[in-house]
Amino acid sequence: MTLIKKGAEAWLFREKWYEFEVVRKWRIPKKYRIKELDETIRTHRTKHEARMISEARKRGIPTPIVFMVNLAESSILMEDVKGKTLKEVLDSLPIEKRKEMCIKIGENIGKMHKTGIVHGDLTTSNIILTDNNQIVFVDFGLSSHSNSLEDRAVDLHLMERALESTHHQMAKKYFEWIIKGYRKVMKDYTDKVLRQIKEIRLRGRYVEERREK
């Protein structure tokens, strides 16, 4: 077992499981919480994430295969997706390839939203470009079931903010391409989402102005 990432809520390990190379996502205990409450929270979040990953995959969204869920230790055993995060590689790809990737991302976000799934943490860190040039969405820890316009808009706004933070030179163009892909699936509903994103931005600016005053 090899530790590959430490997050605030969970640690990721790479290991062998029978003949498969897998990743184990283990939700670590939080000592500041009452033990019984901590176990309940970690169990619930583990069960929820595993279910959401599997459900998204069944609906045609590229996600890792979930092999096993261990609720006693709050861990998920899943496919080790070979590749790099888009955060690492997107800006170094040929421009046409970047456009293709962004449109694919948008199409898959559209599929998620159309089937009532909101990812909750859309960033290029949570999308893997595999060794055979496929994209895979990971980390469904904050995902939820929702058909709300607000939740869908927030999901895309999070992606927009992540692009501005990590890929600022091309952020506007990347987001335009993502919306182009999203529109292929969500059609005219996309305009409602874009209007809602605009409203969310205005709310954010208002809050910042209030803080400054």
- Residues carrying an active site annotation: 121
Q: CA-to-CA distance for 201 and 208, rounded, in angstroms?
A: 11
The whole-angstrom separation of Cα 105 and Cα 209 is: 33
Taking CA atoms, 72 is separated from 20, 43, 51, 119, in Å, by 22, 8, 16, 25
DSSP designation for 71: T
Token code pair at residue 82 = 């070979």
| Structure-block tokens of residue 162 | 């992540």
Count of alpha carbons within 13 angstroms of residue 106, beta-carbon side? 24
**Nearest Cα to Cα of residue 70 among 130, 27, 112:** 27
Rounded to whole angstroms, the Cα distance separating 52 from 69 reads: 13
Largest CA distance in the chain: 60
